[in-house]
Homo-oligomer: A and B are copies of this chain.
Amino acid sequence: MSLQLDFGSENTAPVHPAFVEALTEANVGFATNFEAEEWTAGAIRRLREFFEHDRLEAFTVTTGTAANAIALGAMVPPYGTILCHWDAHIETDECGAPEMFSFGARQVPLAGEHGRLSPDALAKHLSHARIGVVHSLQPAALSLTNLTEAGTAYTPDQIAALTAIARRYALGVHLDGARFANAAASVAATPAELSWKAGVDVLTLGTTKSGSFGVETIVSFNDRYNVGLAYLRKRSGHFSPKTRFLGAQLQAYMDDDRWLKNARHANAMALRLSRGLTALAGVTLVHPVEGNEVFVQMPDAMVERLVQRDCKFQRDWRPEPRHHRFVCSWATTEAQVAELIAVAQAASVSA
């Protein structure tokens, strides 16, 4: 059987053995449901060390869309707006979940190069917002994404520059960290530096794209949101009864620096992939590669050759300029990267 070449998403990769083990180890005897058990309690203790923040609260759920929507739903009133990059996952890929969970708050898509929200765009929008005028929705939250949807990484300073503007307007700050580990690996910052120390109130911490079965955690650094988060999680059907299996996976994410090791590997594979591809005629990067994703324009013949080889990737990711997305994960191997490049090269040569 030939090598699987799946660069479609981190979520097409198999689950990392550490998470399989975590599940198996947690499956001993009886344990009280709905978080009245040690696995979740232990995970929260570990999170407090991980983020160097002893009062954070955490709420596990099973999808990233849920984590983002519950976080934002608890942070903004229905008459609020959520300011985000136009390319953010909450804007493009969640079918309006934040609107549903906030009961109709509006997302305002703002500009910025390579997926990073521009401080100028943010400041300008806020300066024109009609604060206190009842006819207008009121700015209520800033939502950032790190890695961004363009695969780039914010540094702590870049986040702080944006949250400082947000604070002047009393906005809450949310960070979608579906690829938080990849960002941390990329900019060599600690979890604390990339979150509350940079002004983040509520973080969606992803472990799914890092290799778990599917655990996303809403991490709240601001206790004003905690009651709302708890009820909204339950009310939206996201309070899992068998929480021990979520808590166990969340612990596995942090244990042995698994989060960081997996992220470094995935980032390294993406860098290798981008170097290989961009060496080919007609292939150009659309965004700098700062994490585990590669966004490229490439000749149609090359796209077709990859498809014929049954290579999976996000074809036609965005239309202008038309380009494609390749994602690496903990499971991506050098051999897979090499073969993908070889297939692409073959198309290049034959063209």
Contact = CB atoms under 8 A, between A and B. Distances in A.
A214 interface: yes
12 contacts: A4-B29, A4-B30, A6-B30, A11-B242, A14-B29, A65-B237, A66-B237, A78-B103, A94-B235, A95-B135, A95-B234, A99-B105
A238 interface: yes
Contacts of A241: 9, 11, 63-64, 208, 214
Nearest to A212: B242
Contacts of A14: 27-30
A288 to B, nearest CB: 24
A100 interface: yes
Given A99-B99, A100-B235, A208-B242, A33 B15 contact: no
A222 interface: no
A106 B103 contact: no
Interface residues of A, number: 75
A196 interface: no
Contacts of A234: 65, 79, 94-95, 97, 134-135
Contacts of A11: 33, 241-242
Find the residue from A8, A34, A239 having the highest chain B CB count within 10 A: A239
A22 to B, nearest CB: 12
Contacts of A69: 236-237
Contact of A8 (B8, B33, B128): B33
B79 A236 contact: no
Contacts of A93: 135-136
